[in-house]
Amino acid sequence: MRIWQDKRQIFDIIRKKWVALQPEEWVRQNLIHWLIRYHNIEASFIAVEKTIRIQGNSYRFDLLIYDKKHLPWMIIECKAPDIYLDDKSLMQVLNYQQMLPIKYWMIVNGIECHLAEKKAGNPNWMSSFPVFDM
């Protein structure tokens, strides 16, 4: 962390730049380090805050993990720690799940985490992070 022009910043190792240290950003940056350190996901397989277009609609996601074929593997929605992961938050990720060919999705606020796998077109709730061995 650093203070720049009276504002707290955190270094984003994916975007390779300093970004404003907001509560949601704190969750995102800690999650990125956890994914790399404990799940052996290379930084080059992680995209941060990108927009994708599907059937003429634009969608912006917090994190997207690609597999080794550069296909979407997991989409992650990050919320600030004070945001309760309610039905509205879950619906945001479920909408991605319905439209994108992604096997896994997660929503996290730094305190609580919901993870699901897409099976037969429906979410299957998981109790642990899947092995990234693509």
* Domains present along the chain, CATH in parentheses: 23-126 (3.90.1570.30)
Q: For residue 54, count CB atoms less than 10 angstroms from its CB and return exposed for 0-12, middle for 13-18, buried for 19 or more.
A: exposed
76-132: pLDDT as tens digits: 999 999 999 887 777 777 777 667 778 898 999 999 999 988 887 777 888 999 988
Assess whether pLDDT exceeds 70 at residue 134.
Answer: no
**pLDDT for the residue numbered 87:** 76
Give the pTM: 0.88
**pLDDT for the residue numbered 37:** 95
Output the DSSP codes for 2-65. Answer: EEETTEEEEEETTTTEEEE--HHHHHHHHHHHHHHHHH---GGGEEEEEEEEETTEEEEEEEEE
CB distance 87 to 98 below 8 Å: no
Task: Give the whole-angstrom CA distance, residue 18 versus residue 11.
Answer: 4
Residues 6+ apart with CB under 8 A from 98: none
6-40: pLDDT as tens digits: 889 999 999 999 999 999 999 999 999 999 999 99
Which residue did the predictor score with more confidence, 94 or 51?
51
Q: Which of 85, 81, 59, 83 is nearest to 72 (CA)?
A: 59
